[in-house]
Structure 1
Amino acid sequence: MWMYLGLLAAFFLGLHNLCKKHAVQGNEVFPVLLGTIGSGFIFILPVFFSSIFLPEYSKSNGFYIPTIPLEVHGFIFIKSAIMAGSWILAYQALKHLPITIVTPIRSAGPFFTFIGAIFIYNERPNLLQWLGFFVIIFSMILYSRVGMKEGINFRKNKWIFAIVGATFLGASSGLYDKFLVQYVELNPQTLIFWFSFYVILILLVILSFSWFPNADKRKAFKWRWSIPAVGIFLLAADFFYFKALQDPDALIMLLSAIKRSQLLIAVVIGGFIFKEQNKRKKLVPLAGVLLGVFLILYS
């Protein structure tokens, strides 16, 4: 069951990435990020109030957000800081790079998660899982060659380093998610609510220095329909992902890989919507990524 929930998370992540590219194009990154997270937070806010004023109703529907101790708030704040850093780097990179380059690099995240799962959680891959991950990494190298033809030097372009950093932080957060869900035993709605709350606080602090005092930057910001759409799609993806992680048999390294099937939406559909170059050439390494995911699932 957890694998199907992982595929649902991948579907919503693919839609989230399409809307995210539309939201950041020619726009101010920090207020866009605040708008997306804030939209998802507003969407889940009724669940929080329902848990306070109608606790029995919330429990019967499986959407109860319990009171958590201060120590657990500290754990969630750490996740919020990690993901805030990842999103800031990813949004900046997405603003300056084609989605058909950014998304495949992000798909290397399972490799970092894979290594962490072995050493931290003692997850043991079999031969097909090893093969699947190396097929994904090899496909990332092919993508870098396609990117060079678009004038993107993978060794000198700072936005490439930004998206690699975002990928590493995202993978670290994925490993931390297993600790929060399986060991701290947080339910999805509790984790999503407080995680969003702390990310908003972090972004407000950053914006108070970098954006609010600057009139030119405030005028440059454009509100778009895709900004709340990003937040809602991310909320749905996180909910199904955390639901999958609640299963004690769920392997974080496999869930991380299954989520990469979002590539099909981001590269194929996104490439046509945003009229990006070399779409056909990108289909070859895309097939490699999907083959790697298939090998992991088949194993």
Structure 2
Amino acid sequence: MWMYLGLLSALFLGLHNLCKKHAVQGNEVFPVLLGTSGAGLLLLLPVFIISRVSPENMQHINLYIAEIPWETHFYIFIKSAIMASSWVLAYQALKHLPITIVTPIRSAGPFFTFIGAILLYQEQPNFWQWIGFFLIIFSVLLYSKVGKKEGIHFKRNKWIFAIIGATFLGASSGLYDKFLIQYQALPPQTLQFWFCWYVVLLLLIILTITWFPYKEKRTAFIWKWSIPAVGILLQTADYFYFRALQDPEALIMLLSAIKRSQILIAVVIGGLVFKEKNKRKKLIPLIGILLGVGLILYA
């Protein structure tokens, strides 16, 4: 069951990436981030309020946001800081790079998760999982050659390093999720609400320093329908992801790889919507990544 929940998460993540690309195009990145995170928080706020007013009803439908100790709040704050940093880097990169380059690099996240799962949780891959793992990494390297045809030199472009950093931080957060869900026994909706809460607080601090004081930056911001859509789609994807991770048999290395199937939506549909170049050449490494994910699932 957890694999199917992972695929549902991948579906909403793919749609989330398309909306995210639309939201940041020609726009100020930090207020877009605040808008998406704020939309996610507003989506969960009624669940939090009803959990306090009528906890029995929310427990009955498995959406109760539990009260947690301060120590657990600290653990969630760490996750929020990791993901806020990852999003800042990823949104900046997405603003300056084609989605058909950004998404495949993000798909290398299973590399870091794979290693972390072995070292931290003693998850043991078999032969076919290793083959699938290296196939994903090799396919991502092929994308770098396609990227050069669009004037994107991977060794000299700072946005490439930004998206690599975002990928590493995102993978670290994924490993941390297993600790929070399985070892701290945090219900998904509880983690989601307080995670959104702390991310919004962190972004407000960042914007107070870098955006609110500057009129030219405030006037450059454009409100788009895709901004709240990003937050809503992300929370939906996270809900299915955390539900999958609740299963004691769920392996974070496989779940991370399953989520990479979102690339199909981002590259195929995103390439058509945003009219990006070299779509056919990008299909070759795309197939490689999908085969790698398929091998991991098969194994």
**TM-score category, normalised to shorter length:** over 0.9
- In 2: Cα distance, 1:106 partner to 1:66 partner: 32
Aligned residues, how many? 299
Q: Deviations over 1:147-203 (max 9, x none)?
A: 000000000000000000000000000000000000000011000000000000000
Q: How does 1:120-135 map to 2 (within 5 A)?
A: 120-135=120-135
Name 2:209's counterpart in structure 1: 209
Q: Deviations over 1:106-162 (max 9, x none)?
A: 000001000000000000000000000000000001000000000000000000000
- In 1: Cα distance, 2:61 partner to 2:268 partner: 38
- In 2: Cα distance, 1:63 partner to 1:265 partner: 29
Q: Deviations over 1:212-263 (max 9, x none)?
A: 0000000000000000000000000000000000000000000000000000
Q: How does 1:1-299 map to 2 (within 5 A)?
A: 1-299=1-299
Gaps (5+ residues) in structure 2? none
- In 1: Cα distance, 2:86 partner to 2:132 partner: 25
Secondary structure, counterpart of 1:151 in structure 2: coil
Q: Bigger CA drift: 56-65 or 85-94? A: 56-65
| 4+ residue runs over 2 A deviation | none
- In 2: Cα distance, 1:167 partner to 1:66 partner: 30
Q: Give the residue type in structure 1 aligned to 2:171.
A: A
- In 2: Cα distance, 1:40 partner to 1:280 partner: 35
- In 1: Cα distance, 2:64 partner to 2:167 partner: 32
Q: Give the residue type in structure 2 aligned to 1:174.
A: G
- In 2: Cα distance, 1:62 partner to 1:263 partner: 31
- In 1: Cα distance, 2:35 partner to 2:96 partner: 20
Q: Give the residue type in structure 1 aligned to 2:274.
A: F
Q: Give the residue type in structure 2 aligned to 1:149.
A: K
Secondary structure, counterpart of 2:42 in structure 1: helix
Cα RMSD between the aligned structures?
A: 0.3
- In 2: Cα distance, 1:272 partner to 1:66 partner: 43
Q: Deviations over 1:28-62 (max 9, x none)?
A: 00000000010011011110001100111111111
- In 1: Cα distance, 2:295 partner to 2:229 partner: 32
- In 1: Cα distance, 2:141 partner to 2:59 partner: 48
Percent of aligned pairs sharing the same letter: 74
Q: Give the residue type in structure 2 aligned to 1:101.
A: I
Q: Give the residue type in structure 1 aligned to 2:150.
A: E
- In 2: Cα distance, 1:59 partner to 1:267 partner: 39
Gaps (5+ residues) in structure 1? none
- Normalising by structure 2, we get a TM-score of 1.00
Q: Give the residue type in structure 2 aligned to 1:195.
A: F
